[in-house]
């Protein structure tokens, strides 16, 4: 089991820490707000009051003992940079830092963040796409060009299989899995015929998937 440290217990840090904890992971949460820490201590085993911008205090926690550090500080740039830098210097293999803009993200990457996330931006994109693409269930951006879409099966796919449709050859897309009610088939069965209640998870170029989804949305009653 990996050891996680979450620095910053705002909405993003708290929800992330709670999810890790509920999945049975070992998590330490650090925040400089005593009231926040007090509230979290009622549901989490390991919560500490500390200022992430204080090098001495953070080092006392023993950063080198953790496998993954999540720096969930967005608005306090100095604290975000200091915590990321200290995590890097402590030899933590995986450092994930939250950013509020591209400049902050660039700085965090340069000083050692393995991955930078934009929670507010990502949620905004998801909500916008759910409003504009009727049959979209969920969406995850892999990079600027590639995404994973979880969506209701395209209308023209119903009654056909992946072999019939030749999705990979025609669209250069990969159907990762197919969900029907509580059953999720991964990888997708290439000879299974799609039903109208199926949910498909598709990976590939974002613009290609969006065109397909929007086209099919206009053709169906979704």
Is the domain spanning 122-219 CATH 3.30.70.1450? The answer is yes
The Cα 31–Cα 173 span in angstroms is 43
User: To the nearest whole number, what is the mean pLDDT of the chain?
Assistant: 86
pLDDT, greater one: 6 or 45: 6
- pLDDT value of residue 130: 65
User: What does the pLDDT look like over 61-103, one tens digit per residue?
Assistant: 888 889 999 999 977 888 899 999 999 999 999 999 999 888 8
What is the predicted pLDDT for the residue at 221?
Answer: 42
pLDDT mean over 9-36: 90
pLDDT of residue 59: 78
Q: What percent of the chain has pLDDT over 90?
A: 39
Residues of the chain with CATH 3.30.70.1450: 122-219
Per-position DSSP letters for 137-193, written without gaps between them: EEEEE-SSSEEEEEEEPPGGGTT--HHHHTHHHHH--EEEEEEETTEEESSPPTTPP
Instruction: Decide if pLDDT at 212 tops 70.
Output: yes
Residues of the chain with CATH 3.40.50.720: 3-117
Full-model pTM: 0.66
For residue 217, pLDDT beyond 80: no
Beta bridge partners of 147: 141, 204
Mean pLDDT, residues 50-55 taken together: 82
CATH fold of the domain at 3-117: Rossmann fold (3.40.50)
């Amino acid at each position: 089991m990996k050891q996680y440290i979450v620095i910053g217990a705002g909405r993003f840090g708290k929800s992330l820490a709670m999810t890790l904890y509920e999945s049975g992971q070992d998590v330490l949460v650090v925040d400089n707000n005593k009231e926040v820490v007090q509230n979290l201590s009622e549901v989490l085993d390991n919560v500490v009051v500390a200022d992430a911008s204080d090098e001495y205090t953070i080092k006392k926690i023993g950063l080198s003992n953790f496998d993954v550090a999540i720096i969930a500080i967005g608005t306090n740039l100095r604290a975000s940079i200091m915590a990321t830098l200290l995590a890097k210097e402590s030899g933590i293999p995986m450092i994930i830092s939250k950013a509020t803009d591209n400049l902050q993200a660039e700085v965090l990457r340069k000083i050692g963040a393995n991955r930078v996330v934009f929670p507010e931006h990502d949620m905004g994109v998801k909500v916008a796409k759910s409003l504009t693409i009727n049959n979209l269930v969920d969406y995850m951006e892999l990079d600027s060009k590639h995404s994973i879409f979880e969506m209701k099966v395209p209308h023209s796919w119903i009654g056909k299989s992946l072999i019939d449709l030749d999705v990979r050859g025609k669209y250069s897309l990969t159907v990762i899995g197919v969900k029907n009610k509580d059953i999720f088939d991964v990888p997708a069965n290439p000879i299974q015929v799609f039903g109208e209640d199926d949910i498909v998870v598709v990976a590939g170029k974002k613009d290609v998937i969006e065109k397909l989804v929007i086209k099919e949305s206009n053709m169906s009653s979704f």
